[in-house]
């Protein structure tokens, strides 16, 4: 099974990706993680990505696809994509890759949230810059105030989680994602899940959807 998980910033997409990949036995592929890994290993692709990021530029679709395809060549299990694709061009490239390998994409799941809820969630989000763990002061608070459960480092509010910045991020997200959603709706594999539930309830809702719509088919 190959899945794509989409959602607004703050929708819990990262949490769901890790939970679902574990429960379904899928490889969790996050573009951010892959970029960091390739850069850390100083691969040719990684160095190209690093050049774009260092200059504050978006990594071009063609290069993103090359990085993703390179990683897919190393995997022999189903994949859950987190943070990819972001554009229709990337989606078309992924479809072409799967077709060339006699594989297919099974479902695209979008975690739906009201934009005001997104702003509220991100305003309550705190991050550990040392180990990367993310908390929410309302739904998933740390055991000790402002302290990471994992490494004990201080938790901070990222600058891009402030309300005025979040609304700008949402505008960019809509501009990029609406054409992508339209693309996937044409092939009957696009599904929406209500994100106004606990992380555990959302995970179970997605698994139930997959069992009813994909596995039985």
For the annotated catalytic residues, the residue numbers are 13, 86, 125, 158, 169
Q: Tell me the three state secondary structure of residue 138.
A: coil
Q: Which two tokens stand for residue 12?
A: 């819990």
Q: Which residues contact 193 (CB under 8 A, 6 or more apart)?
A: 109, 110, 111, 112, 202, 205, 206, 209
Tokens 């402030």, residue?
Answer: 162
Given CA atoms 93, 203, 18, 50 in this order, what sign does their dihedral have? positive
Q: Which two tokens stand for residue 141?
A: 């608070």
Q: How many CB atoms are closer than 10 A to CB 17?
A: 21
Q: Which two tokens stand for residue 90?
A: 């990337």
Q: How many CB atoms are closer than 10 A to CB 94?
A: 20
DSSP 59: P
Burial 62-92, CB ≥16 within 10 A → b, else e:
eebbbbbbebbeeeeeebbbbbbbbbbbbbe
């Amino acid at each position: 099974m190959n899945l794509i998980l989409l959602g607004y910033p703050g929708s819990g997409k990262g949490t769901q990706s890790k939970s679902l990949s574990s429960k379904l036995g899928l490889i969790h592929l996050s573009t951010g993680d892959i970029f960091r890994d390739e850069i850390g290993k100083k691969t040719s692709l990684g160095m190209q990505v690093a050049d774009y990021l260092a200059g504050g530029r978006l990594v071009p679709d063609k290069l993103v696809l090359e990085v993703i395809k390179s990683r897919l060549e190393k995997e022999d299990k189903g994949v859950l994509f987190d943070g990819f694709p972001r554009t229709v061009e990337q989606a078309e490239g992924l479809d072409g890759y799967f077709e060339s390998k006699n594989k297919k994409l099974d479902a695209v799941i979008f975690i739906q949230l009201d934009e005001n809820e997104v702003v509220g969630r991100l305003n309550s989000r705190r991050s550990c810059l040392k180990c990367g763990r993310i908390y929410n002061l309302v739904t998933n608070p740390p055991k000790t105030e402002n302290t990471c459960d994992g490494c004990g480092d201080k938790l901070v509010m990222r600058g891009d989680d402030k309300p005025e910045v979040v609304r700008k991020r949402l505008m960019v997200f809509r501009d990029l994602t609406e054409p992508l959603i339209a693309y996937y709706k044409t092939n009957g594999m696009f599904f929406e899940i209500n994100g106004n539930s606990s992380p555990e309830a959302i995970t179970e809702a997605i698994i139930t959807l997959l069992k009813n719509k994909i596995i039985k088919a």
